[in-house]
Structure 1
Amino acid sequence: MRKWIFSGLVVTMICSLFSATASAAGKPPSFVSVVMDGQKIWFPDAQAFVDENNRTLVPVRFIAEQMGAKVGWEPKTMTVPIERDDLHIVLTIGDSTALVNGKEVVFDSKAITSGGRTFVPLRFVSEALGAKVNWDSPTSTVFISIQEDANAKYDEWGRLIRTTHLPKNAKDYPYILADVPNEAYEMAYPYSHPTDSKVSSVLYSTIPEFNKKNVDIWMNRLKTFGALWLNIDYKTIDDTWAQAVFATKVQSSNAELKYIRRYVEWVKENKIQTEGYLDPEPSMIYKDGFGNNYVRSKFRIKFNSFTESKNLLYDERFPNDRKFDKQVWYEGYADISLSTNVGGDWGSTLKVDPGASLFRNYFIRKADSE
Structure 2
Amino acid sequence: MRKGILASLVAALIFSLFSATASAANKPPSFVSVVMDGQKIWFPDAQAFVDENGRTLVPVRFIAKKMGANVGWEPKTMTVPIERDDLHIVLTIGESKALVNGQEMVFDTKAITSGGRTFVPLRFVSEALGAQVDWDSPTSTVFISTKEDDHENYDEWGRLIRTTNLPKNAKDYPYILADVPNEAYELAYPYSHPTDSKVSSVLYSTIPEFNKKNVDIWMNRLKTFGALWLNVDYNTIDDTWAQAVFATKVQSSNAELKYIRRYVDWVKENKIQIEGFLDPEPSMIYKDGFGNNYVRSKFRIKFNSFTESKNLLYDEHFPNDRKFETQVWYEGYADISLSTNVGGDWGSTLKVDPGASLFRNYLIGKADSK
**What's the counterpart of residue 246 of structure 1?**
246
**What's the counterpart of residue 170 of structure 2?**
170
**What's the counterpart of residue 200 of structure 1?**
200
**What's the counterpart of residue 5 of structure 2?**
6
**What's the counterpart of residue 182 of structure 1?**
182
Q: Deviations over 1:221-247 (max 9, x none)?
A: 000000000000011111111111110
Q: Quick check: 1:160 aligned with 2:163?
A: no
Q: 1:211 to 1:17 in 2, by over 3 A?
A: closer
Q: 1:18 to 1:45 in 2, by over 3 A?
A: farther
The alpha carbon displacement at 1:151 in A equals: 1.5
Distance 1:39 1:254 in 2: 40
* Greater shift in the superposed pair: 165-174 or 51-60: 51-60
**What's the counterpart of residue 47 of structure 2?**
47
**What's the counterpart of residue 132 of structure 2?**
132
Q: Deviations over 1:118-157 (max 9, x none)?
A: 1111111111100010000000000001101221100000
The alpha carbon displacement at 1:17 in A equals: 4.8
Letter matched to residue 264 of structure 2 = V
**Structure 2 unaligned regions, length at least 5:** none
Q: State the SS of the aligned residue for 2:63.
A: helix
* Greater shift in the superposed pair: 72-81 or 282-291: 72-81
**What's the counterpart of residue 352 of structure 1?**
352
Q: State the SS of the aligned residue for 1:242.
A: helix
Kept after mapping to 2: 8 A contact 1:80/1:90: yes
Distance 2:298 2:337 in 1: 14
* Number of matched pairs: 369
Distance 1:358 1:26 in 2: 25
Kept after mapping to 1: 8 A contact 2:23/2:240: no
Q: Deviations over 1:60-111 (max 9, x none)?
A: 1111111100011111111110000000000000001101111111111110
Distance 2:336 2:167 in 1: 21
Q: 1:36 to 1:320 in 2, by over 3 A?
A: same
Q: State the SS of the aligned residue for 2:21.
A: helix
Kept after mapping to 1: 8 A contact 2:17/2:32: no
Distance 1:131 1:42 in 2: 18
Distance 1:199 1:276 in 2: 28
Kept after mapping to 2: 8 A contact 1:88/1:101: yes
Letter matched to residue 214 of structure 1 = N
Distance 1:44 1:141 in 2: 19
Distance 2:240 2:210 in 1: 33
The alpha carbon displacement at 1:18 in A equals: 2.6
**What's the counterpart of residue 142 of structure 2?**
142
Distance 2:331 2:19 in 1: 18
Q: State the SS of the aligned residue for 1:250.
A: coil
Q: Quick check: 1:123 aligned with 2:101?
A: no
Letter matched to residue 202 of structure 2 = V
Kept after mapping to 2: 8 A contact 1:162/1:176: yes
TM-score, scaled relative to structure 1: 0.98
RMSD: 1.1
**What's the counterpart of residue 237 of structure 1?**
237
Q: State the SS of the aligned residue for 1:20.
A: coil
The alpha carbon displacement at 1:15 in A equals: 3.0
TM-score, scaled relative to structure 2: 0.98
Distance 1:338 1:211 in 2: 16
Which consecutive aligned stretches of 4+ in structure 1 deviate over 4 angstroms post-superposition? none
Q: State the SS of the aligned residue for 1:10.
A: coil
* Greater shift in the superposed pair: 54-63 or 147-156: 54-63
**What's the counterpart of residue 228 of structure 2?**
228
Letter matched to residue 66 of structure 1 = K
**Structure 1 unaligned regions, length at least 5:** none
Letter matched to residue 349 of structure 2 = T
**What's the counterpart of residue 306 of structure 2?**
306
Q: 1:18 to 1:100 in 2, by over 3 A?
A: same
Q: 1:261 to 1:176 in 2, by over 3 A?
A: same
The alpha carbon displacement at 1:26 in A equals: 5.1
Kept after mapping to 1: 8 A contact 2:45/2:369: no
The alpha carbon displacement at 1:177 in A equals: 0.3
